[in-house]
Amino acid sequence: MIEFPGPTPKELGYSFPAEWKKHRATWLSYPHDDSYSWPGTLSRIFPFYNRFIRELSKNEEVCINVRDEVLRDKVAADLQMLEVDSSRIKLLIHPTNDAWCRDHGPAFLVRPDHLDPKVIVSWKYNAWGDKYDHDLDELIPGLVSKYLGVPVFYPGIVMEGGAVEFNGTGTLLTTAQCLLHENRNPGMLQHEIEDYLRSFYGVEQILWLDEGIDGDDTNGHIDDITRFFSESGVVTMVEPRRSDANHKILDENLRKLKSFRLRDGKQLDIAEIPMPKPVIYDGQRLPASYANFYIANNAVIVPNFQCKEDDQAMRLLEECFPKHKIIGIDSVEIIWGLGSFHCLSQQEPDIAGALPEAQ
């Protein structure tokens, strides 16, 4: 057991709420000309990215990190053209290297009965193993904490928001391929990483899948394969085409999910969603997956890929989220950046709506 130098969020009673709990806001980092993603195609993503913002703003505030005043003014004008309610948009000059706020953004934990009901955990961020520049991205949680006036914890190890998934009642789902990869925290053992997860996310149980999908530059993020839709239910991707590189990976993940038991001894309720038709760009397989949806207040934003599988995925997610509007947005241009709507966003919980439901 690792001995931490001070009280951890868990020791202080904080925990990470499920994504479907009410948000105060969604945080984004707006793409810009110096972004390393979308080489040669950046301008083509904005109709879809800005529609994402518009849909989010219908039910919650959208806080957007922008590089500078010039970009701030351009984004404000573009959103005005889309008739986005400007009172729901906060444009903050917080420079970033790129747009992947799920991974470099703040992790919000809550304890509604505390003097500080909300805190931020700022993990180290190394752009998935020092693959890209990340000096600005790593500063974002600290800037957000100053803006909101909330305390911040610095665990000191590398962690990414897309690598972890929560049911809101003490269970965390992740993959060994990502968290145990040598380019994240070399020399750390699984039980040591679990100590950090429990202590700084406020969870009790950690469930490990093996690998992520083909084309995933992050080395196995969970948000491309399996997501909680309730405290005991998960959506998981499956690949029916046996010749596809993802078939064996996802079949093994499904087998493991069926073997898991939650803290109360229950099996998971598993909803299987077939993968989209492979998306290839410039000879490269891209990590196109319906699991990269984002659960907003009253809506679930789902990446679509211009294939027949889109409709089936939307119908299945309607069954999983009967109280939410299911909104599909074309992600063919966005996925060239190797991520989609969940990768781009990070939820900030609303304190009043963050408590677990009574059992």
Which token pair is 234? 């998960």
- Cα dist from 273 to 84, 201, 242, 270, whole Å: 32, 28, 15, 10
Of the candidates 63, 101, 320, 343, the residue annotated as catalytic is 343
The DSSP string of 173-192 is EEEHHHHT-TTTSTT--HHH
CB 125 within 8 A of CB 184: no
Residue 178 known to be catalytic = no
Q: Dihedral of CA 176/177/178/179: which sign?
A: positive
Closest to 196 in 3D by CA, of 151, 232, 163, 148:
163
Q: Dihedral of CA 56/60/65/66: which sign?
A: positive
| Alpha helices (H) in 154-237, listed in sequence order | 176-179, 190-201
Distance (Å, whole) CA 339 – CA 289: 9
The residues annotated with a catalytic role in the active site are 343
